[in-house]
Structure 1
Amino acid sequence: MTAFVLVSGSWTGGWIWQELAARLRESGAEVHPATLTGMGDRRHLAGPGTDLETHVEDLVQLIDEVDAPQLVIVGHDYGIHPVLGAADRRPDRIARIVYLDAGMPQDGDAALQVADQAVRDLLLDAAEQENADWRIPAPAPDEWQRGGSVAGLSEEALARMTRLAAPQPRGTLTQPLRLSGATAGLPTTGVFCTVNGTSIAMVQALVGFGDPRLQSLTDPQVSFFDLDTGHWPMLSAPGELSAVLLAAAAGEGHRLSAAATERPAHLDPFLLDLPERPRERVGAVDLYRPDGDLPAPAIVFVHGGPVPAEMRPTPRDWPTFVGYARYVAGLGAVGVTVDHGLHDLHDYAEAAENVSAAVELVRADPRVDGDRIAIWYFSGGGPLSAEVLAAPPSWLRCVAATYPVLAPLPNWGMAADGRFVPATAVRSAGALPIVLTRVELERTDIDATIEKFLAAAKDAGADVEVVDVPGGHHGFETVDLTEEAREAVRHAVRSVLGHLRG
């Protein structure tokens, strides 16, 4: 018989697991929902000294009281911090650690330090309230979504969460987690709530990019599951979550493939066979010069991300961007690639400045017609298009976007009405031509941002041309070597060049 210890996130308690626990018990499992000091019906036990160590000790005592020889211990959101702390002290009692839509804190990390920006902002805003003192008030009903997607939750469920939530002792979020390494080698499972913005496919792509921080996730003892729901699966999908936890306890789940022995897909050859072109490197900018008359129009290709700072080669040398730059150079325009430094979700402002500087460098080049510029955004670089869409400069003849993110994803922690939201900015694009390449097999969360963008563009009468890629995947230029994919690239390039020359 499997025994589970369930540990919830900020402001909540053991009550949040009620329906899930019932389903697990119906399957024959032993279940121990934890209510930590200061939370749930133990809120009266909290004091100014209640911190992460308090919650770790709560779980250590619970583990010691359970008769089962080994436990599957589940940490949701903040709950993974005390879970790891307790498992570090009782590793022999732990059969598996389950990260339920949770981060990967390391030794020395405080929960507030490593939280997503949206969660951090929510906590900090609450902490600044006049009555906060050593307690951080729980969110209002309309604020829970700032800490994670509330998809699948009814208004009644949100109202119940608000009613039963307890203020979070500040010390639980600011005290660093201390780990000795005793849990190294314990089996682990990650459960991603995909509507909240993370999925197995996304993490596999990051592993494929060569991010060294994620290589440990390819260990055979690490498994993964996707749940198509929001950040609160114990409430929105208790049946599905019960099945996932039972499967995880049995050692099932998806294993990530290591990329060390094979070439990552983003480094495979570009789908068009193109000749070499002269390249000039100026700082973080590469220019691919055309033959023929100069000055020539230019297209600046803006890669996606975030891309780990340690990744090599850097994006401007990836076959996709080199391929596009060579292709347009062969057709008479200057192709430009740039490393803009989007290494983290907090880097959008800096990346925007770097893209702007790259464009100005290109416009000042005597071989470039500075009044005929297009900027082409890809994937996670899409939010960077918002500023030029909101106030198109006179020299910008076209904006292009390929499989772009056009509004913040649920777990990004960026305001939906903020600076980097093309789905809002497009309402001010006026007559600026926009060429959008959309892949049929797009991730659901990204596709939702594209649909939002297109709806706003239609309402505003914006000039948007959509180029579809049948059967295409995100990053199709190196993975979908089909004639439909090749024609989509040719079509999009023709359209952009047409606007540059029109």
Structure 2
Amino acid sequence: MTAFILVSEAHTGGWIWREVAARLRESGAEVHPVTLTGMGERRHLAGPGTDLETHIQDVVRLIDHVDAQRVVMAGHGYGIHPVLGAADRRPERIARIVHLDAGLPQDGDPALKLVPDQAVRDRLPPRSGEGAGDDWRVPPPPVDEWQRWGSLAGVPADALARLTRYAAPQPVGTLTQPLRLSGAGSELPVTGVLCTANGPGIAMVELQVGLGDPRLQALTDPRVSFFELDTGHWPMLSTPGELADVLLRAAKGEGRRLSVTVSEQPTHLRPFLLDVPKRPRERVGNVDLHLPDAENPSPTVVFVHGGPIPAGVRPTPRDWPAFVGYGQYVAGLGAVGVTLDHRLHDLSDYGRAAEDVAEAVELVRADPRVDGDRVALWYFSGGGPLSADWLAAPPPWLRCVAATYPILAPLPSRGPAESGFRPATAVRTAGHLPIVLTRVGLELPEIAVTVEEFLTAARDCDANVEVVDVPLGHHGFETIDHTGQTRHAVRHAVRSVLGHLRS
């Protein structure tokens, strides 16, 4: 028999698994929904010293009392921290760990690091632990703020009311105490259940793994599987039947394996789709200038890469074939092509990445080889949100904004951290600034939605948007899809951008 140990999100308790547990038991499984110290009906046991270690010990004690030979532990959101901590103490008892819409915390990470909303982090009391006085608990959110902990998509009104009614304050120490892992559980089989209305799907994960982040390479291990649920962050409330089925299949080792392997050449390092003449390339700090043959100052196209890109990835984006290719291509056509590295390493880095781009633009405009009054900014993928400030208040020297397979509104997986960078809102004040948007037909669904939101807003305000469609193009097509259609799209988009610079 398989025994499931189910550990839920912050502020909740074992009660939240009621429907899932019933369906698992109907299949013959043993089920243990966990109510951690200070949560649910055990809220009276919390105190200033209640911390992550307290919750880890809760789970360890339960493991020790389970007789079943196969123990599958599922951690939902915050719950993955005590699950991983307990598995590290009792790895010989665990058959599989399920990350249910949960992150990948590492040794030393506090749970607070993975809380999606900065506003939640900012409201934490300044102290926790013994001697902290009465200010050691985080109150649960009111009914209209639960989305700060994750999308409520699919949650019925009565279930949301129950969530609010039974929620308990969360001891601060459970969120701030670092998770300590010895590595004893690092070889255990793992399943990730991705709730796609709240975060990335499997295709997006594959894209991130393909960038070469060493922290994500473990996801390519054949012992790691994935499932998707088309719902928000609370599948035990929105789709309990589907969740129970996924947990049973995960226990059997089913699920999709990532197609990316370490031995493959990452897609972003494959050759550019056009064979372009080599032009002089000059490096200044974090900026590269691809230079044309010109006696007079030339118009400039600044190419802004996407992200987040892990800080340790090498080569950095300005040396990726696609960006070098674009820079060299426009230089061959008489404009200065600018590529740069910015510090979008994490979802919280959009502010400093925007500063990096602004500084790069000023550096380039001050170069005597550049006509500072004729500049285009061209954004790619996760760099799309960085276009918002320029669209909202275009300076007179900005002659065009271009975007290729961009994110143009906050993704559910990125949440409020990115909410200040919303091109789909900023376009309403862009006036007649020319915008060249390259849209791929085989886009990741969560990104395609943001493009349509942008285009709807653009139509409402009569913005000057040209759409270059690539029906059979993928996200990152310049190094993936070497076809006549994709080559034509790149040439078309470049011609349009340069046309606006020269008009």
TM-score by length of 1: 0.95
Deviation for aligned residue 1:293: 5.1
1:124 and 1:168 mapped to 2: Cα distance? 15
Is residue 107 of structure 2 the alignment partner of residue 125 of structure 1? no
Deviation for aligned residue 1:396: 0.3
2:385 alignment partner, one of 383, 386, 403: 383
For 1:4, the equivalent position in structure 2 comes to 4
For 1:100, the equivalent position in structure 2 comes to 100
* Matches for 1:201-220 after TM superposition, within 5 Å: 201-220=203-222
Does structure 2 conserve the Cα–Cα contact (< 8 Å) formed by 1:126 and 1:138?
A: no
Deviation for aligned residue 1:184: 2.3
For 1:77, the equivalent position in structure 2 comes to 77
Q: Using a 3 Å threshold, how does the CA distance of structure 1 residues 132 and 160 change in structure 2: closer, same or farther?
A: farther
For 1:446, the equivalent position in structure 2 comes to 447
1:417 and 1:67 mapped to 2: Cα distance? 48
2:183 and 2:314 mapped to 1: Cα distance? 29
1:132 and 1:334 mapped to 2: Cα distance? 61
For 2:400, the equivalent position in structure 1 comes to 398
1:332 and 1:123 mapped to 2: Cα distance? 49
1:132 and 1:308 mapped to 2: Cα distance? 39
Does structure 1 conserve the Cα–Cα contact (< 8 Å) formed by 2:115 and 2:121?
A: no
Mind listing any 5+ residue stretches in structure 2 that lack a counterpart?
127-132
RMSD of equivalent CA atoms = 1.8
Q: Percent identity?
A: 72
For 1:16, the equivalent position in structure 2 comes to 16
* Matches for 1:107-256 after TM superposition, within 5 Å: 107-112=107-112, 114-118=113-117, 120-125=118-123, 127=125, 133-256=135-258
For 2:60, the equivalent position in structure 1 comes to 60
Spell out structure 1 runs of 4+ moving beyond 6 A.
none
Does structure 2 conserve the Cα–Cα contact (< 8 Å) formed by 1:210 and 1:259?
A: no
- Secondary structure at the counterpart of residue 105 of structure 2: coil
Q: Using a 3 Å threshold, how does the CA distance of structure 1 residues 450 and 116 change in structure 2: closer, same or farther?
A: farther
2:437 and 2:203 mapped to 1: Cα distance? 23
TM-score by length of 2: 0.95
For 1:298, the equivalent position in structure 2 comes to 300
For 2:322, the equivalent position in structure 1 comes to 320
Deviation for aligned residue 1:262: 2.2
Does structure 2 conserve the Cα–Cα contact (< 8 Å) formed by 1:17 and 1:33?
A: yes
Does structure 2 conserve the Cα–Cα contact (< 8 Å) formed by 1:116 and 1:412?
A: no
- Secondary structure at the counterpart of residue 312 of structure 1: coil
2:193 and 2:419 mapped to 1: Cα distance? 29
Does structure 2 conserve the Cα–Cα contact (< 8 Å) formed by 1:70 and 1:92?
A: no
Matched to 2:45, the amino acid is: L
30-39 or 220-229: bigger deviation: 220-229
90-99 or 191-200: bigger deviation: 191-200
2:311 and 2:114 mapped to 1: Cα distance? 20
Does structure 1 conserve the Cα–Cα contact (< 8 Å) formed by 2:423 and 2:454?
A: yes
1:97 and 1:321 mapped to 2: Cα distance? 39
Deviation for aligned residue 1:257: 4.2
Does structure 2 conserve the Cα–Cα contact (< 8 Å) formed by 1:123 and 1:136?
A: no
Q: Using a 3 Å threshold, how does the CA distance of structure 1 residues 54 and 218 change in structure 2: closer, same or farther?
A: same
Between Structure 1 and Structure 2, how many residues are aligned?
498
1:126 and 1:15 mapped to 2: Cα distance? 25
For 2:288, the equivalent position in structure 1 comes to 286
Deviation for aligned residue 1:415: 5.2
Deviation for aligned residue 1:132: 7.2
2:98 and 2:366 mapped to 1: Cα distance? 54
- Secondary structure at the counterpart of residue 5 of structure 1: strand
454-463 or 305-314: bigger deviation: 454-463
